């Protein structure tokens, strides 16, 4: 039952704004400490040297004296201090969610549309923080009073219209508890498709690319399409695999993503409809904990056009995710799956958070959220990890990161 506001405890909201400099927060709370008053909530943000510090207080024994002391703080420190009386404590409404927004760039119209949609859903934005300003802009909105499923659906439509990425996740410990991240390889962890790089060396690129495109859209059975493509590689020297392995380029942000996850004690895995001759060395280079892929058959130094063992297809990828989670003692609710093609749908559905990365429409429709910027480390923002956190940890480890662009 909701208690009418007039029957709730009386409170004071003290808001300090002004040019940021050392000592402001200490001075405000030193003044408050002279009064018998409880601190119920505190929020502080600094933007381009401007400080906004909001403090919610319980009712003081002598409100007039407190107001006089705060007026003196305003004069002495050359800041604005407002005091607003009201009712109610610091607890926010139920139905709390985190709304993460990615834009490249992020335009005011997009923020306006998202805010209108949240308000129309009867929810409130309690807090907004910036997670990153480059190479994409990411902000996170803490929202209360929302039906998570309904809000997710409504904001997804806004995301398409405004050309931004939006993820809606329930607040609480479960969001922070994600411990295993499983990624597809081709067109996710690495740029392009390995089988097409092999096909180019075999002179059958057009034929293989056509089948690949149809398979990734979900128009063909993946297992049969893979076998038909691999048959076209029959006779290709095995040295071509080494050439492709050397030519493979990681997706921008891939090293940062894995380095940061490992630093935070996440487990990382890759699952690929491609080939273990590529993925196993890649996993070793990046320090990835688990890898699963198909294996090309080689005889007399050439590809036979066949595969060794069962094919890792859509169900196989989901089974691999479950297997890795079981080995680590991690429930599926604490896993993240990232992929771009139809054969990733099984693991995306099984994971606690399924992310479509620059994916085909069928995958974007099925995933919990989509990332359509070309930087794989944007996944970190969906886990609540900010760019400044990443850079601070890199600096502590002696990792040199590129300088941000000038504002």
Q: Return the active site residues.
A: 184, 186
Q: What's 253's DSSP letter?
A: T
Nearest one of 283, 241, 246, 240 to 262, comparing CA atoms: 283
Residues 6+ apart with CB under 8 A from 398: none
User: From edge to edge, which strands make up the β-sheet containing 290-299?
Assistant: 302-308, 290-299, 267-275, 180-183, 335-339, 353-357, 369-371
| Bond prior to 105 in cis (omega within 30° of 0) | yes
Q: Which whole-number Å values give the CA distances from 303 to 137, 208, 295, in the listed order? A: 45, 16, 11
Nearest one of 288, 293, 266, 262 to 277, comparing CA atoms: 293
Residue 53 Ramachandran class (φ > 0 left, ψ -120 to 50 alpha, else beta)? beta
CA gap 192, 205 in Å, rounded? 13
The C-alpha atoms of residue 78 and residue 19 are separated, in whole angstroms, by 9
- Angstrom CA distances, 219 to 187, 223, 395, stand at 18, 12, 46
Contact in structure between 169 and 353 (CB atoms under 8 Å): yes
Query: Residue written as tokens 């070793």?
Result: 284
d(CA 40, CA 167): 30
The total number of residues shown for the chain amounts to 407
Helix-strand-coil percent breakdown of the chain, rounded to 5?
40, 30, 30
Question: Do 307 and 276 contact (CB within 8 A), yes or no?
Answer: no
Alpha-carbon gap, residue 183 to 175, rounded angstroms: 19
Find residue 18's DSSP bridge partners.
51
Concatenated DSSP letters for 76-126?
Answer: HHT-EEEEEEEE--SPPPSS-EEEEEEETT--HHHHHHHHHHHHHTT-EEE
């Amino acid at each position: 039952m909701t208690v009418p506001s007039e029957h709730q405890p009386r409170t004071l909201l003290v808001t300090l704004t002004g040019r940021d400099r050392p000592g402001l927060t200490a001075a405000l709370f030193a003044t408050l400490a002279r009064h018998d008053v409880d601190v119920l909530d505190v929020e502080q943000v600094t933007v381009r040297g401007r400080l906004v510090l909001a403090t919610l207080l319980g009712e003081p024994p002598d409100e007039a004296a407190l107001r006089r002391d705060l007026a003196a703080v305003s004069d002495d420190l050359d800041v604005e201090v407002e005091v607003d009386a009201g009712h109610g404590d610091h607890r926010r409404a139920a139905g709390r969610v985190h709304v993460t927004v990615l834009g490249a760039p992020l335009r005011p119209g997009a923020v306006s549309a998202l805010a209108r949609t949240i308000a129309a859903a009867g929810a409130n934005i309690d807090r907004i923080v910036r997670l990153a300003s480059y190479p994409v802009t990411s902000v996170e909105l803490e929202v209360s009073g929302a039906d998570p499923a309904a809000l997710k659906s409504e904001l997804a439509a806004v995301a398409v219209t405004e050309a931004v990425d939006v993820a809606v996740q329930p607040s609480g410990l479960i969001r922070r508890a994600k411990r295993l991240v499983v990624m597809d390889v081709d067109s996710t962890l690495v740029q392009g498709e390995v089988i097409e790089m092999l096909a180019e060396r075999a002179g059958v690129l057009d034929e293989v690319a056509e089948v690949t495109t149809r398979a990734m859209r979900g128009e063909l059975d993946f297992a049969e399409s893979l076998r038909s493509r691999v048959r076209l590689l029959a006779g290709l020297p095995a040295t071509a695999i080494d050439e492709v392995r050397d030519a493979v380029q990681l997706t921008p942000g891939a090293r940062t993503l894995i380095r940061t996850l490992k630093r935070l004690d996440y487990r990382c895995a890759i699952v690929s409809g491609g080939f273990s001759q590529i993925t196993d060395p890649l996993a070793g280079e990046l320090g990835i904990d688990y890898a699963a892929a198909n294996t090309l058959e080689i005889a007399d130094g050439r590809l036979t056009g066949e595969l060794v063992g069962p094919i890792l297809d859509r169900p196989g990828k989901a089974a691999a995710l479950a297997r890795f989670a079981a080995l680590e003692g991690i429930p599926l609710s604490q896993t993240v799956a990232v992929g771009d093609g139809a054969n990733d749908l099984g693991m995306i559905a099984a994971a606690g958070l399924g992310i479509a990365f620059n994916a085909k429409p069928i995958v974007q429709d099925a995933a919990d959220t989509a990332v359509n910027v070309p930087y794989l480390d944007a996944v970190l923002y969906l886990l609540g990890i900010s760019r400044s956190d990443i850079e601070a940890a890199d600096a502590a480890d002696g990792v040199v990161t590129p300088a941000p662009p000038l504002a």
